[in-house]
Amino acid sequence: MESETNRDKVHFLLLNIGHLLDHLFTLIFATVAALTLSREWGLTYADLLKFATPGFLAFGLFSLPAGWLADKWNRDGMMTVFFIGVGIVSILTGMARSPLQIAIGLFVIGMFAAIYHPVGLAIVTEKWKNTGMRLAINGVWGNFGVAGAALLTGYLIDLAGWRAAFIAPGLFSIAVGTAYAYLRWAEVSAPRVERTRAQTNTGAKLPPEAARMIKRISLIVFFSTAFSSLIFQSTAFSLPKLFDERLPGIAHSLLATLRSLGLSGNADMATMVGFFTFVVFAVASFAQLLVGSLLDRYGPRPVFMGAAIVQLVFFSLMPGLTEGWALAVALGFMLGAFGQIPITDYMIGKMATGEFRARVYGARYVVSFTSLALSLPLISFVYSNWGFDALFRVLTLAALIILIAVACLPVRLPNFAAAPAQN
């Protein structure tokens, strides 16, 4: 019994590391583009964003087939493919010699990265109870991947150049994937066992009223997911560039202080921008722990509305701010952006049956990551024409739309999923 508990802990840890790596790989280029490639390749920041768009399209579009294949074959097997595949491609991307080559690399990274969310989250919601808190913990790890992308990439740029920012995480991911395959070998090598109709409740026909409620909730979930993803990607991808422009004073001051103390090492301005981005993302990520606890206690509607209100307020305050105020307000809107991430996953986990859960998550992330991809042309267009102030006015409107949509959710969420759970 104790050995089984330990295996579960290690399994959950590896899934969490996978979530961290998934978000780290998709955002390495954001810092590379903002801090070094625009100078090295003679392209503007807006031009470089175009080469990242296919990767985020792949991140979304391949989520559905990844979930389908995991349901048909094996979820642990797909997780092994994720770890090793994305690691190999990241190393190859670090060897790119042209914008076209790096765009191809980012596209294939997106293909492998698409595996994690429909597969990893299906494992988490099916295997363990206390779904809200489990998803919140898993979400915090993913957020540290977002935060770590800026910090790690900035440091590796100063230490060894931008190529190392792709190669080092790639090697680490391959090592984790090898460990995952070894520890989960019995599950990885076995075909997926179909559950009985009684276990999954797929044979039970819902009454018309319940069916209508499911359709209503599903529409709201996918609609709000689209706008939430637009907000998250716009903030997560553009924050290094925003801080590069608006925090030069405090960045130089911190760097000068570290140098005076002999603590700067190889750090330069890229590291400082990465550090501030990391701090905002890392602190904001803990909002998910609070959200996870509130979801299990109160349900998704009031929690979702609270996150939307937080975003609405802080986005509206951001235009025109610089230095310390910009840093503080950025922390505020990222609290809302990170806090809302586990809410739709929680709702899907409660409603989708175990047999089809990975496919439902796949459909959710097709919507989510397609919106992520579309946000890059939006950032490029708005930033190149009007700057970041206009972008935050657009995001204020998006937060208002989410708030209106979430207000239409039922007060209590029905639970139609029946899946065995462990402690």
pLDDT one-digit tens code per residue, 129-178: 666 677 778 877 887 887 778 778 888 888 888 899 899 999 999 999 99
CB contact at 8 A, 233 and 376: yes
Domain CATH number, residue 184 = 1.20.1250.20
pLDDT at 413: 60
Domain that holds residue 74: 2-189+208-406
Residue 149 counted as domain residue: yes
Coil, strand or helix at 96: coil
Residue for token pair 């209590």: 412
Residue 397 counted as domain residue: yes
Max distance between CA atoms of the chain, in angstroms, equals 71
Residue 328 counted as domain residue: yes
Residue 421 counted as domain residue: no
pLDDT at 423: 46
Two tokens at 352? 């989708």
Two tokens at 291? 């959200």
Residue 414 counted as domain residue: no
Residue 420 counted as domain residue: no
Q: Considering only CA atoms, which of 120, 127, 117 is closest in space to residue 5? A: 127
Residue 202 counted as domain residue: no
Distance CA 386, CA 328 (A): 23
Taking each helix axis as running N to C, give the angle between helix 341-351 and helix 300-317, from 0 to 180 degrees, rounded to the nearest 10. Answer: 160
Q: Spell out the residues 6+ positions from residue 222 whose beta carbon is closer than 8 angstroms to its own.
A: 363, 364, 367
Residue 417 counted as domain residue: no
Distance CA 307, CA 337 (A): 7
Using CA of residue 233, residue 236, residue 238, residue 242, what is the dihedral sign?
Answer: positive
Ranges under pLDDT 70 in the chain = 1-5, 34, 127-132, 186-211, 263-268, 348-365, 368-370, 372-373, 411-423
Could you tell me which residues are beta bridge partners of residue 422?
A: 128
Q: Considering only CA atoms, which of 27, 331, 64, 315 is closest in space to residue 149? A: 27
CB contact at 8 A, 119 and 66: yes
Which helix (DSSP H) or strand (DSSP E) does residue 355 occupy?
none
Q: DSSP letter at 203?
A: T
Q: Considering only CA atoms, which of 374, 373, 401, 378 is closest in space to residue 388? A: 378
**Domains in the chain, number:** 1
